[in-house]
Amino acid sequence: MVRKPGLKDTKAIHRLIGYYSKRNMLLPRKLNDICESIRDFWVYEDRKVLGCAALHVYAGDLAEIRSLAVDSGKRGKGIGGELLNACLDEAKRLGIKKAFALTLTPAFFRKYGFKHIDKSKLPQKIWTDCAVCSKFAKCDEVAYIKRL
């Protein structure tokens, strides 16, 4: 079941993101940052939290899909797609026109209709988040965007 999380879910979200950040597949997130942005998140639960994703809204009509992670033993079962769709549905309800992701797994986003773009076309992201990221000078993520 996909649902909005509560503060009780922050440790599970942190664990999921931590698993992939240790493998250099996601940027790490501090537990405190997850607590502060808990309203951005969605979780997939089946007796325990098995996946998470966040919709981060920027000024105007742009939002980012971030921190999309699925329990390593449950990958390939559609959980990531359900979480992505929950974020996209929320974006549409908010009147957002474009959603983007910076990713190391472009095939996943292409499967859901996202198109490759140059990161320089996302100045909101670059100057608010990327500029303070430890990977800024050597970022290996690629940008994908979808018009809603």
Q: pLDDT value at position 133?
A: 55
**Which among 54, 19, 60, 49 has a CA at the least distance from the CA of 34?**
54
Which position has the higher pLDDT, 58 or 130? Answer: 58
Q: Is the pLDDT of residue 56 over 90?
A: yes
Whether domain 2-147 has CATH 3.40.630.30: yes
Domain boundary assignment for the chain: 2-147
Report the chain's C-alpha Rg in angstroms: 14
61-94: per-residue pLDDT in tens?
A: 899 999 999 999 999 999 999 999 999 999 999 9
* Lowest mean pLDDT segment, chosen from 37-41, 104-108, 110-114: 104-108
Element (H, E) at 10: helix 10-22
Q: pLDDT value at position 131?
A: 46
C-alpha span between 52 and 107 (Å, rounded):
19
For residue 37, CA distances in Å to 90, 104, 121, 135 come to 15, 23, 25, 22
C-alpha span between 38 and 48 (Å, rounded):
17
Q: pLDDT value at position 84?
A: 98
